[in-house]
Structure 1
Amino acid sequence: MKKNVLFFIVILLSVSCIGCDAQKPNIPLESYVKVDGSTVTIPLSEMLAAAITGESLETVRPHILHNKTHNAYVNLIDGKADLIFVTSPSEEELAYAKEQDVSLVITPIVSEAFVFLTHTDNPVDNLSFEELQKIYTGEITNWSEVGGPNLKIAAYQRPVNSGSQTGFLDLVMQDKTPATPPMEHIHAGMGDLIDAVASYENQPDAIGYSYYYFVVDMWGNTSVKLLKIDTVYPDKKTIASGDYPITTSYYAVYRENTPKSSPIYEIVDWLLTEEGQDLMEAAGYVQLD
């Protein structure tokens, strides 16, 4: 738990510009900072670059290369990226930063929710937070134990250090250890996991997880449904209000020793202005409260 305490102190210290009057930077595309990030923040990164450079999305898209969450953190720490848009760091990523004597500034830029999904044919539409934990620790193994059919639960996970696995461990499991799933229940890509939940032979037995934006705005598989958690359905309204119980953020992260002359500070400050937040909403994300 020590990591979480230190992590959120850094975040709280780095959000003081919300509502500030920072002006939108004007940076030529050829001088734009080296960015990286999670899969789920690619649209965010592309729209931001287009707004700041004054170029079209089609023009900036080849310049926005996201290498997924873990690689983005490693690239930032190693100096191969200057600014990353990501989910929260894992224990291993924080340990690597410490090993390399690199301090990270981590700033929330949009709100997000961590969501659970099952097949649309599964009659279960609500789980309690405690039931989620018990499913993933192996204490609950059958859908009949949570009001569903007599089917063994296939609980899918992501690999360690993927953005959604870090979110799963920090936001959901917390101090509990998930059961080790069979290899066929671990999927490297977020879309692969969603498609695995959507695909079944004779029985809708699977459960998986991801981030709201990825499921709804990026992947859009109509054979899965999002589950209510503690009777609250995840949507932009319940995420923004905080009524949905598993909320988080996407973050802009840069090295603390970034030169003060770097445009990174202007970019991050502008993202937190009303204009910057409106841009993020136009890209489909949920504004910070």
Structure 2
Amino acid sequence: MKRRVIITTAALIIMLFAALLSGCQKTSQEPSFTLDNYPKVDGSTVTIPLSEAVAARLTALSPEEVRPHILHNKTHQAYVNLINKEADLIFVTGPSEEELALAEEKGVGLELIPIVSEAFVFLTHAHNPVQGLSLDEIRRIYTGDITNWSQVGGPDLPIVAYQRPVNSGSQTGFLDLVLQGLTPMEAPTERIVADMGGLIDAVAAYENGPHALGYSYYYFVVDMWGNENVKLLEINGVYPDRETIRTGDYPVTTAYYAVIRDDEPEGSPARQVIAWILSEEGQRLAEETGYVKIK
């Protein structure tokens, strides 16, 4: 299947990153919108705070005033809405195979522009003595080769490995960033958790013991949900935090993207919003909202 996915155009890269690196972008150059002419935005759960902060800044309103107009329908539906021209701009992780197939079927090209850095993280119960896993161990766990924590230096307990539903943003990230072509074992229905927060709580509460393993995105675990009964695991000996994500030392880094259709006109409101997010001021706002700025 031919993938019509563009990771920015050359002109956009030059314009946006030149501004970012030179530090010449000024507040006075911000685009100005009203709620009536602001682009129709959709996206994932994890990008809601960023989406609200950007809309508030560019409309000179408060986050509370813009919140009813920023409706994120989660990753898969956001892609569907963009492809069907029911959204102008979405803030999401990368597309799944099914989403790419839908775009191809509809004759739509997608343009992906990375706007903030992110990490794909693994978590377990806070009482689990295991501090980290290697990527190879994670792959062997999720393909069914490793089934007990004792095989990775932990207690003699079965590993309860949670997954997310197909086409969820974190499941797509898991398949693309971690398994990379391997087929995960089929998880029992009760171990497929519909939402990211539910997965974290399931890992935290599973029989009040350190059996469980799960995954998510760093920002969601640390800044949006939070649960003192879970801990993040080192991967290949590197703990995920803002510094290791920013430097790329943490081995499973990715990005959140601003995604538009590739026929989006130059200078459109959606492209103006993306350009501002990648400016010095836009990246500062992203950091103030808790995200890690893009390299």
Q: TM-score, normalised by structure 1?
A: 0.95
Aligned to 1:206: 212
Partner AA of 2:209 in structure 1: Q
Q: Is the 8 A contact 1:117 1:208 kept in 2?
A: yes
C-alpha distance after superposition, 1:50-96 (max 9, x if no partner): 01000001100111000000000000000110000001100110110
**d(CA) in 1 for partners of 2:113 and 2:265?**
17
Asked if 1:168 is matched to 2:174, the reply is yes
Partner AA of 2:273 in structure 1: I
Partner AA of 1:259 in structure 2: P
**d(CA) in 1 for partners of 2:118 and 2:134?**
19
% of aligned pairs identical?
63
Q: Is the 8 A contact 1:108 1:251 kept in 2?
A: yes
DSSP-derived class of the 2:283 partner: helix
Q: Is the 8 A contact 1:15 1:108 kept in 2?
A: no
Shift of 1:259: 2.6
**d(CA) in 2 for partners of 1:203 and 1:270?**
46
**d(CA) in 2 for partners of 1:103 and 1:202?**
47
Q: Is the 8 A contact 2:162 2:187 kept in 1?
A: yes
**d(CA) in 1 for partners of 2:143 and 2:96?**
20
**d(CA) in 1 for partners of 2:206 and 2:98?**
34
Aligned to 2:262: 256
Shift of 1:202: 4.9
1:178-193 mapped onto 2 (5 Å cutoff)? 178-193=184-199
Aligned to 1:26: 32
Gap regions ≥5 residues in structure 2: none
DSSP-derived class of the 2:203 partner: helix
Aligned to 1:65: 71
1:27-42 mapped onto 2 (5 Å cutoff)? 27-42=33-48
Residues 265 and 192 of structure 1: is their aligned pair in 2 closer, same or farther, counting only changes over 3 Å? same
**d(CA) in 1 for partners of 2:239 and 2:9?**
27
Shift of 1:261: 4.7
**d(CA) in 2 for partners of 1:168 and 1:155?**
13
Asked if 1:271 is matched to 2:269, the reply is no
Q: Is the 8 A contact 1:19 1:274 kept in 2?
A: no
Large movers: runs of 4+ above 4 Å = 11-14
Partner residue of 1:156 out of 162, 179, 191: 162
Partner AA of 1:187 in structure 2: V
Asked if 1:194 is matched to 2:191, the reply is no
Which stretch has the larger CA shift, 14-23 or 267-276?
Answer: 14-23
**d(CA) in 2 for partners of 1:275 and 1:91?**
34
DSSP-derived class of the 2:174 partner: helix
Q: What is the number of equivalent residue pairs in this alignment?
A: 286
C-alpha distance after superposition, 1:209-239 (max 9, x if no partner): 0000000000011110000001100000000
Shift of 1:260: 2.9
Q: Is the 8 A contact 1:77 1:255 kept in 2?
A: yes
Aligned to 2:249: 243
DSSP-derived class of the 2:91 partner: strand
Asked if 1:102 is matched to 2:108, the reply is yes
DSSP-derived class of the 2:108 partner: coil
**d(CA) in 1 for partners of 2:58 and 2:286?**
13
**d(CA) in 1 for partners of 2:18 and 2:72?**
28
Shift of 1:11: 4.5
Which stretch has the larger CA shift, 48-57 or 19-28?
Answer: 19-28
DSSP-derived class of the 1:204 partner: coil
Shift of 1:12: 7.4
Asked if 1:10 is matched to 2:16, the reply is no
Q: Is the 8 A contact 1:124 1:148 kept in 2?
A: yes
Q: Is the 8 A contact 1:143 1:151 kept in 2?
A: yes
Gap regions ≥5 residues in structure 1: none
DSSP-derived class of the 1:105 partner: strand
Which stretch has the larger CA shift, 173-182 or 22-31?
Answer: 22-31
C-alpha distance after superposition, 1:117-167 (max 9, x if no partner): 000010001101100100000000000000000001000000000000000
Partner AA of 2:88 in structure 1: D
Residues 46 and 202 of structure 1: is their aligned pair in 2 closer, same or farther, counting only changes over 3 Å? closer
**d(CA) in 2 for partners of 1:42 and 1:220?**
16
Partner AA of 2:13 in structure 1: V
